[in-house]
Amino acid sequence: MDKEQLISRLNWFYSLELNQVDLYKSQSKAFENEYAGLVFEQLSSIEQGHVENIGIKIKELGEKPTTIGDVLSPFIGHIAGKILGSRDLPEVLKINTMIEQKAMKDYKGLIEDLKNSDYGSGELIKILQNNFIDENLHTEWFKTKLSELQTVEFSLIP
């Protein structure tokens, strides 16, 4: 991996994280009066932290962080429009999980590649690992919440 390739991969994360900031912000409004809304608001600010830590790394490589636009739609396709502002929490949680898992998969790929690259500074790898761990924790909350909702759905509570 050369420097250009690393910058372009970091820009992909920069865009993905920005997309997630917006996504969770809109979800925090859609679920304003619920605990989930508070969680989405907090997730949005954690993703903002990722935008910033990736942005700093791009700058250290001598480039300006550049968004490549909407990177979510290509892999969640037509569902993307549907969930923006959706009030269907189980659906939102499922799609959020898909997005977080995509982020985790790509972070893992970059971490592996960096271990064999000239640009794989320990510091950069650490940042990517920490972002990965955050996405992992987000995924776990989504799964827990989804299973809680499904438990209620399939039980005979009056």
Which residues of this protein are in contact with Fe ion, per CB under 5 A? Answer: 17, 47, 50, 135, 138
Nearer to Fe ion, 95 or 135 (CB): 135
Q: CA 108, CA 127: separation in Å to the nearest integer?
A: 12
To the nearest whole angstrom, how small is the minimum distance from the Cβ of residue 62 to Fe ion? 24
CB of 134 to Fe ion, least distance (A): 6
Residue closer to Fe ion by CB (options 129, 158) is: 129
Q: In whole angstroms, how close is the CB of 157 to Fe ion at the nearest point?
A: 31
- Cβ proximity to Fe ion: between 17 and 95 the closer is 17
CA 97 to chain CA centroid, nearest Å: 9
DSSP 35-99: HHHHHHHHHHHHHHHHHHHHHHHHHHTT------S--SHHHHTTHHHHHTT---HHHHHHHHHHH
Question: Rounded distance, CA 63 to CA 35, Å?
Answer: 39
Q: Which is nearer to Fe ion, 3 or 109 (CB)?
A: 109
Burial environment of residue 141 by CB neighbours within 10 A (0 to 12, 13 to 18, 19 or more): middle
State the minimum distance, in angstroms, from the CB of residue 99 to Fe ion.
8
State the minimum distance, in angstroms, from the CB of residue 77 to Fe ion: 20
Cβ-based nearer residue to Fe ion, 17 or 97: 17
